[in-house]
């Protein structure tokens, strides 16, 4: 989501050596009786070999929860990138290795939570990439992704579930669009669609996005934004300054051009969008990784999570709010104010129970059983308790693209937790 800015013999009885391993005897071998050692006519039964349990396999569409695919509770690491320059020592530092072992022993900070969320994201998005095609409605696409996410993560209230509403922003809409109830928009052959998916496990949020197009004209736009995101990931690290990372992103993005109807258009980074730090149950945790060089001397720190996301445009490179709002979130620092509307009190109770401070959309309120809630929702927004995030648009006729990964600044190494074979 975008930031703006076995049995033993009886005791004492001797067992002849030839009977010590009964399983090795041929069927029908004599049985020595205690009375006279006469051969018994009873035949020994061979033990049947135990059948090995068949490993769980994922279904299509994906509906097998990850706990069945990874019964050990250990999930795949993301892509590991060593720190560079002054931080290169961290890879072999005994002190940093010890710190990492201690971190992994703490159930509240263990990397397995975020890796589980990342594996859910990989499987859900790869299914989406195989399945989405022009002619589908936005609601069909959103349900396709979110049904997979909920099944894979084994949704359980605030313990695990969808991290934020699935973004399906089209063309000049860069971010924060997901269909509301009654939306009948159909994906077209010439559309450029940003797919922004969130997953969380115990509040650890994985935020990762990609762009889909069926029109080769805009391949260079997608290439530019993907390259810029990879630049941002490469330049990120402990003690890296946010303003300098932004400069590297901008330089990469602006080195690309797109030819549309015989006209060459520069790819521009969208200046008022940015990546962001992530905290527990908090998608935007305060630090912003902008897309245009600036003087921000704030440093990334050990142990932090960041969503490195970049947006490119063939338009002016700035977005404004517009259209019908779908995205909302209760503020982390929401004020305690008296609510005059009984419906607003009831709605806030439902939001706290179902989402906490995780972003949600109107479809999620519908799913939670809420109805006729718009007045109450707007009241919560007006009181500063809930933040609304309307869709963000560049100029009409422009095309925008987005790529994003979540990175973890571990003590010894940088881990791109959401990386997969697809991008």
CATH number of 66-323+394-416: 3.90.230.10
> Which one, of 328, 324, 365, lies nearest residue 343 by Cα?
365
Considering 207, 235, 279, 394, which one is annotated as catalytic? 207
Considering 119, 146, 191, 196, which one is annotated as catalytic? 196
Which DSSP category does 39 fall into? Answer: B
Give helix then strand counts, H and E, for the chain: 9, 19
Query: Which has the higher per-residue pLDDT, 416 or 56?
Result: 416
pLDDT class for 35, splitting at 50, 70, 90? very low
- Look up 394 and say whether it is catalytic: no
- Residue 121, annotated as binding a ligand: no
When pLDDT is averaged across residues 20-39 and rounded to a whole number, the result is 45
Number of residues in the chain:
423
Bin 354: left if φ > 0, else alpha if -120 < ψ < 50, else beta: alpha
- Look up 284 and say whether it is catalytic: yes
Q: What pLDDT digit, counting tens, does each position of 352-404 carry? A: 999 999 999 999 999 999 999 999 999 999 999 999 999 999 999 999 999 99
> Which one, of 196, 198, 219, 191, lies nearest residue 133 by Cα?
191
Query: Which has the higher per-residue pLDDT, 296 or 4?
Result: 296
pLDDT class for 13, splitting at 50, 70, 90? very low
- Cβ atoms of 365 and 350 closer than 8 Å: yes
pLDDT at 247 over 60: yes
- Look up 404 and say whether it is catalytic: yes
Model pTM score: 0.86
* The predicted structure's pLDDT at residue 2: 78
pLDDT at 8 over 80: no
> Which one, of 96, 182, 198, 195, lies nearest residue 149 by Cα?
198
Q: What pLDDT digit, counting tens, does each position of 181-215 carry? A: 999 999 999 999 999 999 999 999 999 999 999 98
* The predicted structure's pLDDT at residue 46: 66
- Residue 196, annotated as binding a ligand: yes
pLDDT class for 19, splitting at 50, 70, 90? very low
Fold for the domain defined by 328-388: Arc Repressor Mutant, subunit A (1.10.10)
pLDDT at 30 over 60: no
When pLDDT is averaged across residues 328-335 and rounded to a whole number, the result is 96
Q: What pLDDT digit, counting tens, does each position of 266-292 carry? A: 999 999 999 999 999 999 999 999 999
Residues in CB range of 166: below 8 A, 6 or more apart: 141, 142, 145, 146, 178, 195, 196, 197, 198
Q: What pLDDT digit, counting tens, does each position of 79-138 carry? A: 999 999 888 989 888 888 888 877 777 766 679 999 999 999 999 999 999 999 999 999
Asked if the bond preceding 61 is cis, omega within 30° of 0, the reply is: yes
Structure tokens at 286: 């305060």
* The predicted structure's pLDDT at residue 108: 64
Partners of 273 in the beta sheet?
Answer: 4
Considering 121, 200, 284, 405, which one is annotated as catalytic? 284
* The predicted structure's pLDDT at residue 5: 65
* The predicted structure's pLDDT at residue 97: 84
Domain chopping of the chain, boundaries: 66-323+394-416, 328-388
- Residue 309, annotated as binding a ligand: yes
- Residue 404, annotated as binding a ligand: yes
When pLDDT is averaged across residues 49-57 and rounded to a whole number, the result is 75
- Residue 415, annotated as binding a ligand: no
* The predicted structure's pLDDT at residue 99: 83
- Look up 259 and say whether it is catalytic: no
pLDDT at 42 over 60: no
Considering 146, 235, 279, 309, which one is annotated as catalytic? 309
- Look up 85 and say whether it is catalytic: no
Q: Give me the half-sphere count of Cα atoms (radius 13 Å) on the Cβ side of residue 119.
A: 22
Q: What pLDDT digit, counting tens, does each position of 128-177 carry? A: 999 999 999 999 999 999 999 999 999 999 999 999 999 999 999 999 99
pLDDT at 248 over 80: yes
- Look up 108 and say whether it is catalytic: no
């Amino acid at each position: 989501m975008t930031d703006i800015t076995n049995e033993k013999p009886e005791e004492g009885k001797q067992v002849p050596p030839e009977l010590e391993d009964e399983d090795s005897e041929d069927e029908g071998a004599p049985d020595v009786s205690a009375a006279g050692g006469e051969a018994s006519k009873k035949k020994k039964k061979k033990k049947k070999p135990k059948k090995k349990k068949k490993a769980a396999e994922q279904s299509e569409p994906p509906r097998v929860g990850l706990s069945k695919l990874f019964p050990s509770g250990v999930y795949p690491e993301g892509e590991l990138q060593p720190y560079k320059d002054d931080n290169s020592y961290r890879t072999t530092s005994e002190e940093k290795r010890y710190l990492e072992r201690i971190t992994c022993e703490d159930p509240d900070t263990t990397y397995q939570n975020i890796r589980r969320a990342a594996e859910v994201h990989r499987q859900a998005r790869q299914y989406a990439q195989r399945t989405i095609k022009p002619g589908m409605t936005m609601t069909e696409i959103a349900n396709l992704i979110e049904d997979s996410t909920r099944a894979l993560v084994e949704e359980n209230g605030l313990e695990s579930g969808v991290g934020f509403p699935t973004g399906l922003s089209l063309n000049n809409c860069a971010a924060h669009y997901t269909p509301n109830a009654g939306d009948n928009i159909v994906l077209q052959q010439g559309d450029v669609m940003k797919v922004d998916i969130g997953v969380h496990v115990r509040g650890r949020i994985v935020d990762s996005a990609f762009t889909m197009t069926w029109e080769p004209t805009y391949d260079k736009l997608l290439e530019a934004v993907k390259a810029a995101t990879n630049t941002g990931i490469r330049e990120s690290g402990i003690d890296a300054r946010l303003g300098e990372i932004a400069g590297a992103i901008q330089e990469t993005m602006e080195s690309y051009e797109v030819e549309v109807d015989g006209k060459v258009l520069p790819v521009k980074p969208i200046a008022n969008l940015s990546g962001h730090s992530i905290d527990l149950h908090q998608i935007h945790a305060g630090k912003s990784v902008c897309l245009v060089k600036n003087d921000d001397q704030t440093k990334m720190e050990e142990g932090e999570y960041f969503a490195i996301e970049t947006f490119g445009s063939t338009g002016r490179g700035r977005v404004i709010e517009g259209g019908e709002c779908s995205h909302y979130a209760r503020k982390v620092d929401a004020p305690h104010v008296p609510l005059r509307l009984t419906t607003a009190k009831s709605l806030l109770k439902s939001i706290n129970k179902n989402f906490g401070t995780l972003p949600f959309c109107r479809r999620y309120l519908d799913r939670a059983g809420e109805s006729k809630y718009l007045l109450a929702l707007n009241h919560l927004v007006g009181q500063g308790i809930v933040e609304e995030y309307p869709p963000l648009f560049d100029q009409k006729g422009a095309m925008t693209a987005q790529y994003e990964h979540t990175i973890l600044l571990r003590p010894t190494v940088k881990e791109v937790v959401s990386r997969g074979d697809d991008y």
